[in-house]
Amino acid sequence: MRILYLLFAVVFLLFQAAPGSADPTFADTAACRSQGNFCRAGPCPPTFTVSGSCHGGLLKCCSK
């Protein structure tokens, strides 16, 4: 029975995800946010304009 606790700990450590691995960084997203803009799935708000794309072209980069 004691081996199950050790086995569980080893399996848990082996399959632990690396920090940040679930959120890949896209170059266009980093460029958009570095300029102080934000990404949006729908159209940009009325006072903002589309200045590029985010997440590999799936979202729009909105700028003032």
Nearest to 47 by CA among 37, 33, 34, 57: 37
Q: List, for residues 46-56, the tens digit of each pLDDT value.
A: 999 999 999 88
pTM: 0.58
Instruction: Render the chain in DSSP notation, one character per residue.
Output: -HHHHHHHHHHHHHTPPPTTTTSPPPHHHHHHHHTT-EEESSPPPTT-EEEEEEGGGTEEEEE-
Burial class (CB in 10 A: 0-12, 13-18, 19+), 63: middle
Q: List, for residues 2-45, the tens digit of each pLDDT value.
A: 788 888 888 777 777 555 555 557 888 889 999 999 999 999 99
Domains located in the chain, CATH noted: 25-63 (3.10.360.10)
pLDDT score at 1: 66
